[in-house]
């Protein structure tokens, strides 16, 4: 009996896993950046995915300029990601190494919820309108009852969903001075619950903003989705012409609209930089001899929707305030 008990205890010791081992956090590999390293090369070397670097840059606030990483900086390399430690002040003064701008590829995602709105390049054609709100409320929201001019005569059926939009102001190009389109705000969704020949009762199932009489209705499509980064097929140059809220100053997490679209070859998931020319009164004296200075990279955007000549983008990084009229570009090396 004692021999059996000893054998069981020995087996338990051999196969037991210490609780401290199970509780230990994942230990990263530490790599020190050397002269000549690039975000592209490091992503390829450690993650076998050279197109990971735009995502690496966008998610590391310590790297303000995607073209500048410094010898001596440390990387924490995990199986599924790379983290960059901030460069010490003594290191940041040393020589920098470049990170080429090559676009992005599938596999990294950003989530949008359908509240982004868009630029309508032509007068939008609505499927219907909200004509009355319950108790004549000026503003309505989720779970409120509204009435529409959509009825059985237009082929509608009980239970159908519609997206709610509001036509805002015409957008003038901040640099080229032409009308780009109309800013369309996404307000939410509604569902028809009772129909008559030329009108219907509906319930607002989701609201991003206040809904009021006169709001546009368009056939519903689920706009909540994950956007995978996609490598661009060509170079791009364009401008931020407006924003979801019509404000001038923007930052990370904001939605902006560009003067680039499908006609120019832009695709959902493309990754572009926000750049700004360096301007100085002293440059006027030296400009003839030295020419324009290199542009500053101040942010990055991911395209989440495209029109024919316009697009909607999510600002995924900003190292300083971004403004309407700032340039966006991608230069493939």
**Domain CATH number, residue 124:** 2.40.10.410
Which of 167, 197, 219 delimits the end of a domain? 219
Residue at 301 is within a domain: yes
Partners of 225 in beta bridges: 112
Taking the C-alpha atoms of residue 164 and residue 141, their distance in angstroms, rounded to an integer, is 11
Count of beta carbons in the 10 Å neighbourhood of residue 163: 20
> Which stretches does DSSP call E strand in the chain?
29-32, 74-77, 82-84, 109-112, 118-120, 128-133, 145-148, 161-172, 179-195, 200-207, 216-219, 225-228, 236-243, 249-250, 255-258, 271-276, 296-306, 311-318, 322-323, 327-330
Which of 162, 184, 219 delimits the end of a domain? 219
**Domain CATH number, residue 275:** 2.40.10
- 49 and 123 share a domain? no
Q: Taking the C-alpha atoms of 109, 187, 175 and 303 in order, what is their torsion angle to the nearest 10 degrees?
A: 10
- 130 and 202 share a domain? yes
Residue with tokens 């990170």: 99
Per-residue pLDDT at 203: 97
Residue at 5 is within a domain: no
- 86 and 138 share a domain? no
- 214 and 231 share a domain? no
- 131 and 42 share a domain? no
This model's pTM is above 0.95? no
- 166 and 242 share a domain? no
- 232 and 306 share a domain? yes
Are the C-beta atoms of 73 and 63 separated by less than 8 Å? Answer: no
Taking the C-alpha atoms of residue 15 and residue 65, their distance in angstroms, rounded to an integer, is 50
Per-residue pLDDT at 278: 72
Residue at 9 is within a domain: no
Residue at 47 is within a domain: yes
Residue at 254 is within a domain: yes
Range of the domain at 38: 21-102
**Domain CATH number, residue 77:** 3.10.350
Per-residue pLDDT at 195: 95
- 82 and 139 share a domain? no
- 26 and 65 share a domain? yes
Burial per residue of 136-147, b for 16 or more beta-carbon CB atoms within 10 angstroms, e otherwise: ebeebeeebbbb
Which of 41, 71, 102 delimits the end of a domain? 102
Residue at 214 is within a domain: yes
**Which residues, 6 or more positions from 150, have their beta carbon under 8 angstroms from its beta carbon?**
127, 128, 156, 162, 192, 199, 200, 217
Structure tokens at 171: 């957008």
- 92 and 182 share a domain? no
Say how many domains are in the chain. 3
Burial of 59 (0-12, 13-18, 19+ CB in 10 A): middle
Residue at 232 is within a domain: yes
Count of beta carbons in the 10 Å neighbourhood of residue 327: 17
Order of strands, edge to edge, in the sheet holding 29-32?
A: 29-32, 74-77, 82-84
Helix (H, G, I), strand (E, B) or coil at 77: strand
Cα 276 to chain centroid, rounded: 20
Residue at 107 is within a domain: no
Cα 281 to chain centroid, rounded: 35
CA-wise closest residue to 55 among 27, 82, 87, 73:
82
Per-residue pLDDT at 88: 58
According to DSSP, the β-strands at 179-195 and 200-207 are antiparallel
Radius of gyration of the chain from its Cα atoms, rounded to whole angstroms: 27
- Which pLDDT tens digits describe the chain residue by residue (333 residues)? 444 444 433 333 433 444 434 444 567 888 888 776 777 677 767 766 655 666 666 666 666 555 556 777 787 877 777 777 766 554 444 444 434 333 333 345 788 888 999 999 988 889 999 999 988 888 899 999 999 999 999 999 999 999 999 999 999 999 999 999 999 999 999 999 999 999 999 999 999 999 999 999 999 988 888 888 787 888 899 999 999 999 989 998 999 999 999 999 999 988 898 988 776 555 555 555 556 666 778 888 999 999 999 999 999 888 889 999 999 998 654
- 231 and 314 share a domain? yes
């Amino acid at each position: 009996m004692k021999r059996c008990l000893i054998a069981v205890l020995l087996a338990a010791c051999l196969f037991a896993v210490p609780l401290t081992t199970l509780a230990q956090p994942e230990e990263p590999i530490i790599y020190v950046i050397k002269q000549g390293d690039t975000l592209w090369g490091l992503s390829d070397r450690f993650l076998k995915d050279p197109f990971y670097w735009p995502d690496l840059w966008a998610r590391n606030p310590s790297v303000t300029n995607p073209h500048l990483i410094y010898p001596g900086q440390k990387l924490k390399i995990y199986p599924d990601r790379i983290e960059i430690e901030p460069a010490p002040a003594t290191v940041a003064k040393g020589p920098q190494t470049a990170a080429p701008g090559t676009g992005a590829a599938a596999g990294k995602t950003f989530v949008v919820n359908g509240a982004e709105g868009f630029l309508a390049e032509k007068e939008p054609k609505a499927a219907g309108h909200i004509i009355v709100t319950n108790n004549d409320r000026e503003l309505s929201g989720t779970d409120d009852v509204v009435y529409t001019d959509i009825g059985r005569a237009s082929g509608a059926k009980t239970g159908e969903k519609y997206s709610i939009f509001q036509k805002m102001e015409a957008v003038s190009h901040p640099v080229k001075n032409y009308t780009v389109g109309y800013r369309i705000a996404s307000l939410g969704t509604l569902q028809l619950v009772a129909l008559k020949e030329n009108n219907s009762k509906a319930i607002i199932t989701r609201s991003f903003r206040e809904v009021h009489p006169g709001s546009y209705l368009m056939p519903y499509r689920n706009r909540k989705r994950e956007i995978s980064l996609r490598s661009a097929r060509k170079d791009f140059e364009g401008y931020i012409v407006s924003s979801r809220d019509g404000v001038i100053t923007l930052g990370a997490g904001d939605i902006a609209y560009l003067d680039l679209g499908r006609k120019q070859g832009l695709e959902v998931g493309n990754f572009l930089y926000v750049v700004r020319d360096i301007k100085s009164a002293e440059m006027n004296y030296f400009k003839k001899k030295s020419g324009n200075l290199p542009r500053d990279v101040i942010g990055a955007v991911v395209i989440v929707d495209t029109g024919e000549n316009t697009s909607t983008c999510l600002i995924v990084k900003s190292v300083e305030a971004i403004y309407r009229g700032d340039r966006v570009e991608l230069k493939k090396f």
